[in-house]
């Protein structure tokens, strides 16, 4: 079965984790696999659960770390937050569908949320690898955006199409999306909104790297350019975010950029108050705009944007009472 190719990252991460270190396996295998390969594909071996590229890559690293990296674990409030989130989602799934579906969700969340969180804390934070991790994430998304020019021009996502050759029964439900007549790039994240969230995160990471002068001035394999490496990367990241045509990630990135600037200000409290007032005013404006925008009847909308906004507003109004029937554990 060609779908077994999804297990190759696990083989590579296991070799590096055992022969070198789990830290190197996390940075050299898991992070590139997570950010460069689509997670919509996985193994097909019923009744075993499907294993995606990123799950395959992280499981061997986690197993190796059980014996030598979690001994000095320092419990924090975030630990309880992660466990509470996983527990509540699993319980909600069990009471609303079946125990089997709940256990399947639990397995997915342990490998996609708990394991990356635990390894990020044990291998990155506690061992001072935050700068290498930030650099790698930013640079990989930078490369992805460059490759996404093909998707913009040819209306075909290579990150979905090429791996899809090995998964013939998967991925057919992910067509190219458009807005205002332009392609919404999805990259390896497939969905433009998710891709926008990933790009927005790396924009803020790149801002931190630039402000702390943690980038080399130039690219190693390129001649000296008029702009510094971090500035060039920032321009491509912003362009990529705009090409997702995803409003929420764009607005969220702007708000995050305002607040992150507090950390690099010489007068942090003054900067915080000014930025807090600016963010609050902007949120009020967005809320008012959303309220008037979604009051439009979807059948009298003049554009696709108006139709989508009106449709979503109608969903909120129509199903709010239904949602409140199970406000804690959901459906």
Q: What is the largest CA-CA distance in the chain?
A: 64
Q: Identify whether 331 is part of a domain.
A: no
Q: Identify whether 300 is part of a domain.
A: yes
pLDDT at 304: 66
Q: Judge if 189 and 122 occupy the same domain.
A: no
Q: Judge if 163 and 278 occupy the same domain.
A: yes
Q: Judge if 111 and 187 occupy the same domain.
A: no
Q: How many domains does the chain have?
A: 3
Q: Judge if 213 and 234 occupy the same domain.
A: yes
Domain C-terminal end among 127, 153, 182: 127
pLDDT at 134: 96
Full-model pTM: 0.88
The span from the CA of 161 to the CA of 166, in Å, is 10
Q: Judge if 196 and 264 occupy the same domain.
A: yes
Tokens of 52: 């995606």
Contact status, residue 186 vs residue 195, Cβ threshold 8 Å: yes
Q: Identify whether 270 is part of a domain.
A: yes
pLDDT at 1: 64
Q: Identify whether 329 is part of a domain.
A: no
pLDDT at 17: 94
Q: Judge if 77 and 119 occupy the same domain.
A: yes
pLDDT at 240: 96
Domain C-terminal end among 75, 98, 127: 127
Contact status, residue 22 vs residue 9, Cβ threshold 8 Å: no
Q: Which domain holds residue 298?
A: 294-323
Q: Identify whether 246 is part of a domain.
A: yes
For 124, other C-beta atoms within 10 Å of its C-beta total 19
pLDDT at 300: 62
Q: Judge if 213 and 163 occupy the same domain.
A: yes
Q: Identify whether 49 is part of a domain.
A: yes
Going by the DSSP 8-state scheme, the letter that residue 21 receives in this structure is: -
pLDDT at 267: 82
Q: Judge if 147 and 48 occupy the same domain.
A: no
Q: Judge if 149 and 227 occupy the same domain.
A: yes
Domain C-terminal end among 74, 105, 127: 127
> Going by C-beta distance under 8 Å and a sequence separation of 6 or more, which residues neighbour residue 14?
25, 60, 61, 64
pLDDT at 296: 63
Q: Judge if 123 and 179 occupy the same domain.
A: no
Q: How many helical (H) and strand (E) elements, i.e. helices and strands, does the chain have?
A: 14, 2
Q: Judge if 313 and 259 occupy the same domain.
A: no
pLDDT at 96: 86
pLDDT per residue of the chain (331 residues) written in tens, 0 to 9: 678 899 999 999 999 999 999 999 999 999 999 999 999 999 987 777 889 999 999 999 999 998 888 877 888 999 999 999 999 999 999 988 878 888 889 999 999 999 999 999 999 988 889 999 999 999 999 999 999 999 999 999 999 999 988 998 887 778 888 888 899 999 999 999 999 999 999 999 999 999 999 999 888 888 888 889 999 999 999 999 999 999 889 989 988 888 888 877 778 888 888 888 888 888 888 777 666 666 666 666 566 666 777 777 778 778 888 888 888 888 7
Q: Identify whether 52 is part of a domain.
A: yes
């Amino acid at each position: 079965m060609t779908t077994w190719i999804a297990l190759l990252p696990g083989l590579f991460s296991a070799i590096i984790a055992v022969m070198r270190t789990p830290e190197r396996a996390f940075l050299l295998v898991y992070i590139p696999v997570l950010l460069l390969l689509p997670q919509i594909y996985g193994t097909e071996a019923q009744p075993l659960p499907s294993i995606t590229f990123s799950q395959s890559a992280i499981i061997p690293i986690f197993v190796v770390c059980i014996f030598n990296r979690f001994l000095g674990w320092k419990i924090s409030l975030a630990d309880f937050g992660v466990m509470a989130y996983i527990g509540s989602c699993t319980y909600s799934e069990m009471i609303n569908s079946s125990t089997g579906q709940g256990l399947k969700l639990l397995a997915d969340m342990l490998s996609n949320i708990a394991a990356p969180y635990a390894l990020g804390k044990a291998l990155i934070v506690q061992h001072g690898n935050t700068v290498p991790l930030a650099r790698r994430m930013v640079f990989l998304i930078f490369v992805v955006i460059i490759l996404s020019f093909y998707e913009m021009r040819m209306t075909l996502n290579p990150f979905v199409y090429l791996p899809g050759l090995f998964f013939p029964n998967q991925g057919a439900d992910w067509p190219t999306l458009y807005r205002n007549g332009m392609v919404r790039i999805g990259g390896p994240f497939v969905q433009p909104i998710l891709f926008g969230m990933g790009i927005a995160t790396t924009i803020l990471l790149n801002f931190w790297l630039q402000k702390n002068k943690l980038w080399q001035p130039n690219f190693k394999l390129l001649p000296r350019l008029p702009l510094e490496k971090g500035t060039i990367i920032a321009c491509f990241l912003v362009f990529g975010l705009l090409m997702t045509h995803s409003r929420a990630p764009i607005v969220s990135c702007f708000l995050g950029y305002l607040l992150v600037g507090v950390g690099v200000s010489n007068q942090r409290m003054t900067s915080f108050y000014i930025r807090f007032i600016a963010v609050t005013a902007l949120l009020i404006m967005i809320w008012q705009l959303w309220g008037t925008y979604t009051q439009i009847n979807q059948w009298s909308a003049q554009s696709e944007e108006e139709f989508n906004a009106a449709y979503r507003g109608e969903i909120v109004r129509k199903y709010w009472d239904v949602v409140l029937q199970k406000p804690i554990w959901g459906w």
